A and B are shown apart, each in its own frame.
Chain A
Amino acid sequence: MELDLKKLELRNVNDKLQNLDRKSNERDFTIINPEGNHAICAGLDKEMNVIIKGHVGYYCAGMNKKATITIEGNVGTGVAENMMSGKVHVKGNASQSAGATAHGGLLIIDGDASSRCGISMKGADIIVKGSVGHMSGFMSQSGNLIVCGDAGEALGDSLYETNIYIKGNVKSLGADCVEKKMDKKHINKLKKFLKDAEIKNHKAESFKRYGSARKLYNFKIDNNY
Chain B
Amino acid sequence: MNTASFQETLDFAIGRERAAVEFYRELTGKAAFAAQKSALAEFMAMEEGHVAMLTGMKSRGAVNLSPGAAVDLGLARRLAAEEEPTAAMDFQDILVAAIKKEERSGDLYRSLVAAALDPDVKAIFERLEAEESRHKRYFEELYETQVARDN
Is B one of A's binding partners? no
State the B residues within 8 Å of A (CB): none
State the A residues within 8 Å of B (CB): none
